[in-house]
A and B are shown apart, each in its own frame.
Chain A
Amino acid sequence: MSTNNDANLIRMTNQIAINLGSGRDEDAAASAICRHLETFWARAMKQRLVASLDQADNELSPLAHRAATLLATRLAERQAS
């Protein structure tokens, strides 16, 4: 079941990436997506998404992947502070 949930989170991230991606350069897009995840997603969902970065076949689109990586850094920073 948990893989099901992961797949769902990835699908949602890809969908957000498509919608927030257009009209922005890639840097701006990635940070907009990351900001969206930070603002609206629950702690556990963010952690799961970041954890799925470790799986090579995670099906995140390139932009979504970039945003999730950015999210990972920001979560780590927050933890450190």
Chain B
Amino acid sequence: MIEHFDPRRQANSVDFSKDYGTPSPIPNANAAQVTLEIDGITLRVPEGTSVLRAAALADISIPKLCATDSLEAFGSCRLCAVEIEGRRGLPASCTTPVVEGMKVTTQNERLARLRRGVMELYISDHPLDCLTCPANGDCELQDMAGSVGLREVRYGFTGENHLDAAKDESNPYFTFDPSKCIVCSRCVRACEEVQGTFALTIDGRGFESKVSAGQDEAFMNSDCVSCGACVQACPTATLMENSVIDHGVPDRSVVTTCAYCGVGCSFEAQMKGDKLVRMVPYKGGDANHGHSCVKGRFAFGYASHPDRLTTPMIRDSIDQPWREASWEEAISFAAKRLKAIQAEHGRESIGGITSSRCTNEETYLVQKLIRAAFGNNNTDTCARVCHSPTGYGLKTTLGESAGTQTFDSVMKSDAIIVIGANPTDAHPVFGSMMRKRLRQGAKLIVADPRRIDLLKTPHLGEAQHLPLRPGTNVALVNALAHVVITEGLEDKDFVAKRCDTDAYQSWRAFISEERHSPEASEPITGVPADAVRQAARTYATVPNGAIYYGLGVTEHSQGSTMVMGIANLALATGNIGREGVGVNPLRGQNNVQGSCDMGSFPHELPGYQHVADPIARGRFEAVWGVKLDDEPGLRIPNMFDAAIEGTFKALYVQGEDIAQSDPNTQHVEAALRSLDCLIVQDIFLNETAKFAHVLLPGSSFLEKNGTFTNAERRINRVRKVMPPVAGKQDWEITQDLANALGYPMNYAHPSEIMDEIAQLTPSFTGVSYQKLEEHGSLQWPCNDEHPEGMPTMHAVNFPIGLGRFAITEYVATEERTNRRFPLLLTTGRILSQYNVGAQTRRTDNQRWHDEDVLELHPSDAEVRGVRDGDWLGITSRSGQTVLRARVSERMQPGVVYTTFHHPGSGANVITTDNSDWATNCPEYKVTAVQVEKVSQPSAWQQRFTSFDQAQKGYLAKAQQEAP
């Protein structure tokens, strides 16, 4: 008898390219091990494992069709039948759990006959066009027919069948061909269990049964959000990516990380030669465990879009056509200008902006270029406009500028508070995980002006909505904390052991004041006091309460205060330092966490080390070989002010579109126009690039090596799958610019940059490419103390020792409604588009959202005589723009909503200069506006269109003239 027991392989060496048939039982250190025998092999597996999975772990493959290891076993196809000693019949191995001492036989004549019979039935209703089928070579039905030795189909194909059922080609990314469906229901279960959308059903019974989207609708008209989970789960060609139908089955694959949102999903980029055929979510991805959303899964076509910039361009002024240049010429043109400007206007007259879309290594290099080669600290990043208050607020209270948990932690939460975030749209894969937990019975509390989709999701526990007025977050969080303290719900033990007593006592006195009670706050927030009391009790009394928040928290004049208010609430209830709890910012862009970690902010060197700290600065000076400025530099809004004033003259922007994404567009445009040298490095001619003098064509995430860090501090590898379109990876361009400025940089590979980061950043000392290769991913801090990284933070103590409560006085925003501007505009995003949309607008994701619209409540629409689809002029104190109306019950009366994915919409023409008091993060979420019916685009939009056309013309001309 062969002893088959290798503890390592059972513990952690799962092969993610293999399908084990059923999911692994919930990992539990105390789970008993069960010993059983399969085909004479003795093995030990954790309790709760299915016989099918146990066999697969021992490399014994049992035929199967309706089972796959991303879904709970269903037991419908009967192909996986086995014989078990002492049991009658032939049980399905996928639904049979292992039992101590069990003896299983997977192959004998009786089983073979049964399986052939099953296959024969399936095949009799299946077209025999394998050779021309897009799934040829990648079809489980085909494999199974082979594996059970099917040789004949006795029923013939003349009986009733589904062979000419019509295809559904409504979705731009995949096709549903029902003639090939074997009704295994894997797709239906994937949509429910993995995605949580419940878009698919099996209609009818018996022979009549078939898969359908919604009420027999086309996929595009159903609730389907095109996540791809059903396509992934389908064992046949019934649900198939169009790119595979067009190009054939890929032949090699590279694991990399999605470059869209802060979830940071791992994907296999599946290639045919240099052609990317499809992106398949990687089961071994620690953030996504094999799930994906429509952006990462399907919207990668932008990388090969004809609009990609392929050659550097230069010009003397922005009303001139572009001229194509060689890399050397463009880089030296840029360097000369930067030097001349510094000579004339001083060292501090130039600066740069790092990208939250580029890699850690690239971001690190840009801030190094600014600090070491420009000689100042005028570096900032787009996190300024999204999560800078998170950095400030969490560092002040908990001592570290990052979320405290892993995504998986939510599976242990009993109550989940979601504030100012819309995970099902903005962080879809995490949203799916959250929904799974809600279906298991966790309670949900949503604090948001809108009724977000999460509230509609099927759930077992209660769901509470606190529909607050935009701009009153702090009043609400104070009221919640007031209830916790005055009703004696705080975790006294935790506070005594883990928090600074003085800070706690003064906060306690402050928050206990009657003016913070839910009753006193109701007139401010608009949320009924009872609802606030109930929510506070729910959060404070469950074993594990977790808070997730997004830009609806940070993008306010009191964004930083609100982040501290959230931390106060978590500290007071002891919801910090273990799984299932915590304070979790949901980050917008893929590498916002990374760009903050890498020293993008003007006051902090990499690893959040202040520039005025002589010891930290000294270490950087020693390695970089230059003297560094000990004063913080300008932040983005300060740069704009200084540019308009004439003291700031040149800017190097890597992979950000500040002209579209930053508030008060007309102010930003004025600032950009007043620059003498604007260097834009991007993959497209974005809005900012239209004001540039030097255009350096960047590379997409598919064309580079590096790392991204997601919202759970997880460092993931980005791997190059194709050569850069314009010849250089972004870090190479920055390096060239540094060299041209006379500051030498000589990295041969991003891994060398990471080694330097590890050397200088205390929370990264244990990170290297080799270790990432071994572990797949690492969550910082990763150093001598935590060599494998740290999934849950603050378990034993805080980086500042004790947690610090902060006084969070509510201060109303200056942006108030009045007679002239009676409505509050708040902004957000939707699933199919990403940020400024430069990528997603160049894909079929346009089919879901091809323009930004203004959502308003029926009552606000009615008094203005507005109907769905009307053109609406939206006017604020900053400007005016025109959008189409969508009348929606999701809004509360008095609040209107739009997105900013399309440049011509000019959503940011109306947003104001107001910003967070501590970090200058703009107050995107509150703008007082008036709305009225109009018949033509706004003046800004008309100017935008003509400027846009002129600039595109300049580019087209240069491209035509090029030899």
- A: residues with CB less than 8 A from B are 1-2, 4-5, 8, 12, 15-16, 18-19, 21-24, 36, 38-45
Contact = CB atoms under 8 A, between A and B. Distances in A.
Interface stretch (B236-244, B319-327, B439-447, B634-642): B634-642
Nearest to B474: A19
A39 B644 contact: no
A40 B557 CA distance: 17
Interface string B349-392: 00000000000000000000000000001100000000000000
Interface string B609-647: 010100000000000000000011111001001101111
Q: Is the interface of B mostly helix, strand, loop or mixed?
A: loop
10 contacts: A1-B645, A2-B645, A5-B642, A19-B560, A19-B811, A36-B918, A39-B603, A42-B631, A42-B634, A43-B348
A43 B630 CA distance: 10
Contacts of B913: 8
B379 to A, nearest CB: 11
B286 interface: no
Contact of B632 (A8, A18, A19, A39): A39
Interface residues of B, number: 34
Nearest to B503: A23
Nearest to A1: B645
Given A19-B558, A43-B632, 17 more contacts: A1-B646, A2-B645, A5-B641, A8-B913, A18-B917, A19-B560, A21-B809, A22-B809, A23-B506, A23-B807, A36-B918, A39-B612, A42-B377, A42-B602, A43-B348, A43-B631, A44-B634
Contacts of B632: 39-43
B638 A42 contact: yes
B603 A19 contact: no
Contacts of B919: 40
B96 to A, nearest CB: 62
B920 interface: yes
A68 to B, nearest CB: 15
Nearest to A23: B807
Contacts of A45: 634, 638
A44 B807 contact: no
B510 interface: yes
A29 to B, nearest CB: 10
B561 interface: yes
Contact of B645 (A4, A15, A18): A4
Contact of A19 (B610, B633, B645, B918): B918
B811 A44 contact: no
Nearest to B920: A12
Given A15-B557, A19-B917, A44-B348, A8 B641 contact: yes
Contacts of A19: 558, 560-561, 809, 811, 917-918
Most buried by B among A22, A38, A42: A42
Contacts of B633: 42
B610 A39 contact: yes
B811 A18 contact: yes
Contact of A22 (B610, B635, B642, B807): B807
Contacts of A42: 348, 377-378, 602, 631-635, 638
A4 B913 CA distance: 13
